[in-house]
Structure 1
Amino acid sequence: MTSARQWAATIALAVGIFILITIEELPIGVLSVMAPDLGVSEGVAGLAVTVPGVLAGVVAIFTPVIAGSLDRRLVLVLALASVVVSCVLSVIAPTFAVLLLARLFAGVSIGLYWAVLAIVAVAQMPPHRAPRALTIAFSGAGAALVLGVPVASWIGTHLGWRTAFAVVGCAALLVAVLIAAVVAPVRTSTPVSMRMMGRAAAHRGVRHALVLTALMITAQFITYSYVSPLLHSRAGVPLTSIGGMLLLFGVAGMIGNFAVGTVLRRSAPLGVLVIAAGLALAILVLLLVVKSPASAFVVMPLWGLFAGAASVTVQAFVSSEGREVVEEGTALNSAVFNVSIALGALIGGRILDLAGQEALMIASVVLLAVALVVVARYLRTTPTHV
């Protein structure tokens, strides 16, 4: 039987990732007011998002090795403490250089938290509730896109971007205390070494998970990173309505995050197959059908439904197919996930400049088609999942 404390602990972990996603994406929402205040262009200010993503990937790889036998719950607390430091530096930043320094702390926090979140979440619940624990913990990511980022952006545009960072910093401090109080300690019996990380990377299940994460997340962010100009110029959505479209996307993403749990309880690889196919279908429909605000209104929730389930699905693949090396595999997957976000935005920007919006979506669909081939082959050659 699952106790109230176990549920509270899992929800606390979800609130933690809510804070992390909010701080990661916050500069996007306050870019137009932050850039002129710091005396830089919006393009340069965009580094405030790119830099933490790349650093998060590096930190995630080394987190299990550096943490050693340290209680993984404390790693989460340290991650949120790093958010507090990042927010304090952001509030007082006199120049963009200091803001970038602050964003380095945000990158560290993201890498630390993502690397151990799944392990701590699963440990809070009985084994048969592991998929449920993952879906609840990762629901915080979708909730941040639906509520956290819009609210922080509203604060930034109405009360000042520094106030937005201050509010997120205070929230991070409170959640750090909450996690320390209600989350059960999680320790590893054998300290992780870089050699063990290498063995995890060579593990068949983990290796496939990393490839699938790279393909799916890069594909998603090649197009999603530029969804605002795409909706405005291609579908004729007014600038004032784009926020509503993204809200629809986010709400559908939260629904997808929980709905996919039914499939994951049967087979995580099957879940990846469903999500990759759904993303490919949604972006293909976006390419072929979306020509008006009404069509965008229909397609954005469809896209969000599958996009919102991507993170929990690829993590479930690691947890189920790499049980022997789950902590190392989770760290590697976290690294690939965060780097793929930055890579998708970078590739998408180049494609957009050189070939236009249609090429952007075609590139995403092609990568997702490759992901479908990879996961279908894995299912076919792994009898337990047939």
Structure 2
Amino acid sequence: MDSARRWAGVAALAIGIFVLITIEELPIGVLSVMAPDLGVSEGVAGLAVTVPGILAGVVALCTPVIVRGMDRRLVLVLALVSVVISCALSMVAPNFAVLLIARLFAGISIGLYWAVMAIVAIGQVPREHVARALTIAFSGAGGALVAGVPVTAWIGAHVGWRAAFAVVGLLAAVVAVLLLVLVEPVRTPAVVTPRKMLAAARTRGVRYGLGLAVLTVVGLFTTYSFVSPVLLERAGVPLGDIGLMLLVYGIAGLVGNFAVGPLLRRSAPLAVVVVITGTMLSLLAVLLVMDAPLSALLIMPVWGLFVGAISVASQAFIGSEASAVLEEATALNSAAFNAAIALGAALGGLVLEAAGQSAMILTSVVLVGLGAVVAGRYLATTGRSRPGAPVAAR
């Protein structure tokens, strides 16, 4: 029974990530209806992704230092409470300025959750089951792409974007209770200090991991933050079908989350090269081929397949190449990942406003391509292929 409860706790962690990914990317799915309702352009509305992403990066970086001996499970509960506050404010936001204030609470929640979730997941199971536990926990990210973002996009198009925030807020409250009931308390004996964080950042594996996260995620979100208008205007997808396209993308992402497992067990650096290269080629297809609903229907699942593997591949890379500084590397990787999402959304908005969609997508291709080059260089200079169990977080 105790074992069953622990695995139920791991599943609850996955639902928590589902909520966090959904709230983080919800504005992407409802951008085309939210922007005109608040009287701003789509490029400006992209700040709803940028602002929480920047704050999440800062919070993730500070969390291990601040929480010290605190039960990491309670940190996750506080993160979900912050989601509830963010959603409540978003529901009643009379203008874009108030929405941005609401999104600050989303940033706090994202930073808190991602900084400690992997540590909590590891603490739920025996050492020999760590990889399985983390794969299950991180499947919540793919699940959000499958159901969370598409469903909220559908709600936004058919009921209203404020209703989408209401649904996510309610789910966050339920998951907070589940974590309190099902998840075992986890405390880390070692005290993380700013000096230890700096020392971890100097290690080769962490340096490369952070560089890969920045290049790849900034490049990805330069375009993905505006996927709704890209589908609507570039591919001619009807507004009511955008949720379906995101659903196809998300299903493929969930498949990618699990399909990359065998490659990760062989070599995490090799898996990262494959995933980033596939993401770059997918974005190139968006730029050159995606000009009709049918081509969008073919390209979106391929794109989603590789994107769905990014989080777990990133965590595996940090886990295998920086295992000696696990908690510090986890926080640094989480900070870089979330800050990169923010930077990508900001960069995409700037390029979109200044030069249009083609230039925006080309920027993504170049940045993710540079990430593939860096990953390939690491693999070549490492000169080895060792197991890369996923033991660190996004």
With normalisation by structure 2, the TM-score equals 0.89
2:218 and 2:57 map into 1 onto residues whose CA distance is 14
Measured after TM superposition, the shift of residue 107 of structure 1 is: 0.9
Q: Provide the secondary structure at the position in 1 that maps to 2:237.
A: coil
With normalisation by structure 1, the TM-score equals 0.91
Shift of the 6–219 alpha-carbon distance from structure 1 to 2, 3 Å rule, reads same
Counterpart of 1:375? 375
Counterpart of 1:306? 306
1:163 and 1:261 map into 2 onto residues whose CA distance is 36
Counterpart of 1:292? 292
Q: Is residue 28–residue 226 contact of structure 2 (8 Å, CA) maintained in 1?
A: no
Q: Provide the secondary structure at the position in 2 that maps to 1:381.
A: helix
- Deviations along 1:228-250, one digit per CA (max 9) or x if unpaired, are 33334443433443332222111
Shift of the 184–265 alpha-carbon distance from structure 1 to 2, 3 Å rule, reads farther
Tell which has more relative contact order, 1 or 2 (C-alpha 8 A, sep 6+): 2
- 2:311 is aligned with what amino acid? S
Measured after TM superposition, the shift of residue 321 of structure 1 is: 1.2
The yes-or-no answer on 1:248 pairing with 2:261 is no
Q: Is residue 58–residue 111 contact of structure 2 (8 Å, CA) maintained in 1?
A: yes
Q: Is residue 35–residue 45 contact of structure 2 (8 Å, CA) maintained in 1?
A: yes
Identity %: 64
1:30 and 1:182 map into 2 onto residues whose CA distance is 33
Q: Is residue 28–residue 225 contact of structure 2 (8 Å, CA) maintained in 1?
A: no
Measured after TM superposition, the shift of residue 373 of structure 1 is: 2.4
1:286 and 1:6 map into 2 onto residues whose CA distance is 42
Equivalent pairs, count: 386
What does 1:1-386 correspond to in 2, within 5 Å?
3-31=3-31, 44-93=44-93, 96-156=96-156, 158-385=158-385
Shift of the 59–3 alpha-carbon distance from structure 1 to 2, 3 Å rule, reads same
Which stretch shifts more, 235-244 or 247-256? Answer: 235-244
Shift of the 42–273 alpha-carbon distance from structure 1 to 2, 3 Å rule, reads closer
- 2:148 is aligned with what amino acid? G
Q: Is residue 154–residue 243 contact of structure 2 (8 Å, CA) maintained in 1?
A: no
- 2:207 is aligned with what amino acid? R
1:85 and 1:134 map into 2 onto residues whose CA distance is 28
Which stretch shifts more, 41-50 or 200-209? Answer: 41-50
Shift of the 42–363 alpha-carbon distance from structure 1 to 2, 3 Å rule, reads closer
2:326 and 2:41 map into 1 onto residues whose CA distance is 42
Shift of the 354–241 alpha-carbon distance from structure 1 to 2, 3 Å rule, reads same
- 1:362 is aligned with what amino acid? L
1:29 and 1:369 map into 2 onto residues whose CA distance is 26
| Structure 1, unpaired ranges of 5+ | none
Note the aligned Cα RMSD (angstroms).
2.5
Q: Provide the secondary structure at the position in 1 that maps to 2:220.
A: helix
- Deviations along 1:261-312, one digit per CA (max 9) or x if unpaired, are 1211222111111101111222223333334332222121111100111111
